Structure 1
């Protein structure tokens, strides 16, 4: 019995020893991280004169043992690769290294950070692919990897495992392949930014089931097909930007009631056809409307001026029309838009005489583009007004 008590005492002592001092793994992991980068003095505090919980950018838990729960070193001039030892900071909840000059691959060891919620590696020079085992970080809320040189496909595992994800931004990289259909599993997503990549294929219809979507950006990819009807269920959407792709089809007549909170509608540089729906004038929060460089035809909705918040309307390079009798009503209507800065109507089929009401457009107007149409008549009043 005495021997059992003694063994029990030893184990208890070891347990106390292990929990009453800062864990052995965190400090070496931080030093390994520092050893890989040049820092220009921003990590000067990372020395033995103070405990590592007092080092620049290091945040520790309050409970003993003190563990690193956040590493926030954004914009601190760090240059070099990211040490795989970062995966030993197993209590880490936030890793913020944005706006530095990290290069090389994103270490697969980040998959060991099961408590990680916020991953900010944007605006660096990371290359290679997204490690599939980042999907093991099942508590992740935000993943920001934009403005790097990452490539390859977007791993389907992200959509299969990261069910708490709310924000994923991969803009301005070199990702290829399709948008993973598995992203439809991420029911809490409210921001998806995949712009400025080389993605192909169409928008997965399953994404329409995500009721929380507010920002959806696919600008400048190689995507095609028609927009799936399911995405018009995004009643909270504020930004919808599918410009500079190869999408086709028409915009549904009732889009105005589908996106009541929309602030930016960007569909330029595609192959859309049909008319511009009149219901767009019901989007009372719309600030920017860009339908440039498509095949829209017919008249511009006459009540566009109901949108008092409009600042930019770009309808250039389409097949829109007007004549002396019909089609110019929207100009009269736009006089109600006191914040209008830019109106681009060039390279269309507008004809007839420019309505005199054009002089009533906002005094804040900076750009009015009418070139390459068939407009006739005298427009000296316009220049007098704009001057």
Structure 2
């Protein structure tokens, strides 16, 4: 999944860079500055002193480390990327006030607590990565409001509850919820609500029940990993699934399925 996600991320970042500008502006946008300072206030450990020394009230926020701003909408924050910086703390609800945000990546840190419901207010977001943290609680239903999201990565946390397929946006291309404590069944027709899905990882959770025949409706699927769950099924039934001819990568290591690992190319 890493290589596949990297390819999609690269294309999203390229499009973003063509539309953004990090140059200083003459007038601060108070809403964005306040939201970023609220985010900073919830950081309890900043080992490289990035936020404490660089994110200073009254300075140009477009020059702050990890921030990119809009070319067309002067000094509105469009990207917040603070990946692998050793931060500890919680994710402030004020992050939902960054209304122009398209990319949010705070992965590979030590954020804890729940994913704030207010994150569903980021209606322009294309890429959301909170992976490799210590986040708990359920996946908020408000993510269903993100109708422009293309990549959602919440993997490697401690999230529980059911996968909210009924509210996940139809715009999604990649969804990685692997290595959490998610439970329940895979809905029969979940592919109907995510028709553009190209990559799906639900590995290393606590999912149960049959692998649904409705997966056949994920016609764009290139990567699928359901390994290390309690899913059941008959491998022979997969010969009727049309997406297998275009699938690039398939990983299954559940207890009751006879398919272990396969690689396909169309």
TM-superposed CA distance for 1:59, in Å, is 0.7
Partner secondary structure for residue 68 of structure 2: strand
2:133 match: 124
Query: Could you say which residue in structure 1 is the equivalent of 2:208?
Result: 200
Q: 1:117-156 alignment to 2 at 5 Å?
A: 117-156=126-165
TM-score normalised by length of structure 1: 0.57
Aligned partners of 1:107, 1:79: CA distance in 2, in Å?
16
Q: Residue 237 of structure 1 aligns with which residue?
A: 247
Shift of 1:54: 0.7
Cα deviation code 1:235-291 (max 9, x no counterpart): 21121112133236xx7xxxxxxxxxxxxx617xxxxxxxxxxxx9xx6x6xxxxxx
> Which residue does the alignment assign to 2:22?
none
Deviation readout 1:340-361 (Å, 9 max, x if unpaired): xxxxxxxxxxxxxxxxxxxxxx
Question: Which of 1 and 2 has higher RCO (CA within 8 Å, sep 6+)?
Answer: 2
Q: Is the contact made by 2:232 and 2:254 (CA closer than 8 Å) also made in structure 1?
A: no
The match for 1:247 is 257
Larger Rg: 1
Residue 89 (structure 2) pairs with residue 80 (structure 1): yes
Aligned to 2:46: 39
> How many angstroms does 1:182 deviate by?
4.6
Indicate the RMSD between aligned Cα atoms, in angstroms. 2.2
1:26 is matched with: 32
**TM-score w.r.t. structure 2 length?**
0.82
Aligned pair 1:169/2:176, yes or no?
yes
Partner of 1:266: 261
Compute the displacement of 1:214 (Å): 1.1
* Alignment check: 8 A CA contact 2:83 2:106 kept: yes
Gaps of at least 5 residues in structure 1 are: 1-19, 252-264, 268-279, 286-387
Whole-angstrom distance in 1 between the partners of 2:166 and 2:34: 31
The 2-side partners of 1:115 and 1:198 are apart by: 32
SS of the residue aligned with 2:241?
Answer: helix
Question: 3-state SS of the aligned residue for 1:234?
Answer: helix
How many residue pairs were aligned?
235
Measured after TM superposition, the shift of residue 66 of structure 1 is 1.9
Secondary structure of the residue aligned to 1:247 is: coil
User: In the alignment, which residue of structure 1 is the partner of 2:199?
Assistant: 191
**SS in structure 2 of the partner of residue 80 of structure 1:** strand
1:220 to 201, 205, 228: 228
1:49, CA displacement in angstroms? 5.8
How far does residue 157 in structure 1 lie from its aligned partner after superposition?
Answer: 2.6
CA distance in 1, matches of 2:50, 2:189: 40
Does the 8 Å CA contact 2:42/2:89 hold for their aligned counterparts? yes
Instruction: Pick the aligned partner of 1:210 from 193, 196, 218.
Output: 218
Give the secondary structure class of the aligned counterpart of 1:146: coil
